[in-house]
Amino acid sequence: MFFDQQIAFVTSAGLPDLNGDDRLVADALRRRGFEVTAAVWNDPAVEWRRFASVVIRTPWDYHLDEAAYTNWLCRCEADAVNLWNPAAAVLANIDKRYLTDFATAGIEIVPIEYVERGQRHSLATLLERRNWTRVVVKPAVSASAYGTWCTSLAAATSDQSRFDEESGQRSLLVQPFADEIVTSGEWSIVFFEREYSHAVLKKPAVGDFRVQEELGGHGEPREPPPEIVEQARRVLSHAAVPLLYGRVDGIERDGRFVLMELEINEPFLYIGSSRGAATRFADAIVRTSGRTRGTTFV
């Protein structure tokens, strides 16, 4: 049986229920005649095809078992689950190597050195070759700053063993440290169906560089300059499939938007920070529930 008025919000085993932001959206959906069910992505009992729409929200453990999550996305695609964002887009977004595709397309990004799993590199040589004095090292597949750390040319030799151990387990990104994150903050600009909704400016705790709230960072509702919004929208324009939501993260550098990440898998959307955001998101979800399974929209 297919439930025309039921929508699944995808969660994780460690956080199986809706969070505060998603409850706001669920309330707005109920006022529109829809019921929202929290469903854990790797729960074998869930019949995903039975929902009018399946919205990826908080599978925040996906990076701990990338293969299983990838398989789940592929099954959703094969079964024509009405999944948002679409499986093809999410599969292309999981590994942060996608950022190099944006650079090729002319989008300015924080530069990347990609280290394949199992490759051995001298960290000091890498930094010297790129003329970087301070860098951030992170897994190519990660969430919430998992496994992210900072090093420098001065510390590279002493950090080599850590770098070797981690690159032996997973692919890594090395990027120059963006001072703007500490001095000015990092923008998170939220779009629903490619239309701008709201934004926050995130800053790390004193002495840190990570902006995630669970690590002491904080985000404040702010309106970016119009030109920054338009540059962030340009990032979304390069997605080849329709998107229900997208959070474009980046810094402002000399009036330019520099992309750090395009979050279309499981981003926190700061719904509670913007009046009307829950309504805008709910309306977009309702529109996805009326789309024919397997149909491509542009």
Say whether both 8 and 79 belong to one domain: yes
- Choosing from 151, 176, 201, the residue where a domain stops is 176
Q: Are residues 170 and 194 in the same domain?
A: no
Same domain, 192 and 253: yes
Mean pLDDT of 207-233: 78
- Does a structural domain hold residue 45? yes
Q: Does the residue 280 lie in any domain?
A: no
Per-residue pLDDT, 132: 96
Is the pLDDT assigned to residue 264 strictly greater than 80?
A: yes
Residue 281 lies in a domain: no
Please state the rounded mean pLDDT for residues 131-159. Answer: 88
Q: Which pLDDT does position 293 carry in this prediction?
A: 40
221 in a domain, yes or no?
yes
Above pLDDT 90, what percent of the chain? 79
Residues 186 and 158 in one domain: no
Query: Residue 298 pLDDT > 50, yes or no?
Result: no
pTM of the model: 0.90
Q: Quick one: pLDDT at residue 39?
A: 98
Count of structural domains, the chain: 3
Structural domain including 213 reads 98-108+180-264
pLDDT-derived band at 245, boundaries 50, 70, 90:
very high
β-sheet bridge partners, residue 276:
none
Same domain, 104 and 248: yes
87-101, 136-150, 231-245: which has the minimum mean pLDDT?
136-150
Domain shared by 164 and 72, yes or no: no
pLDDT level of residue 239 (50, 70, 90 thresholds): confident
* pLDDT, mean over the chain: 90
Q: Is residue 298 part of a domain?
A: no
Same domain, 90 and 104: no
Q: Are residues 15 and 85 in the same domain?
A: yes
Residue 210 has pLDDT above 50, yes or no: yes
For the cut 80, the answer to whether the pLDDT of residue 219 exceeds it is no
| Residue 139 domain flag | yes
Could you tell me if residue 157 is inside a domain? yes
Q: What is the mean pLDDT of residues 156-168?
A: 94
pLDDT digits (tens, 9 = 90+) for 20-59: 999 999 999 999 999 999 999 999 999 999 999 999 999 9
- The pLDDT, as a whole number, for residue 92 is 93
pLDDT digits (tens, 9 = 90+) for 71-123: 999 999 999 999 999 999 999 999 999 999 999 999 999 999 999 999 889 99
- 170 shares a domain with 238: no
Same domain, 55 and 188: no
Residue 238's pLDDT band, with cuts at 50, 70 and 90, is confident
User: Is residue 103 located within the same domain as residue 237?
Assistant: yes
288 within a domain of the structure (yes/no): no
Q: In this prediction, what percent of the chain has a pLDDT beyond 70?
A: 90
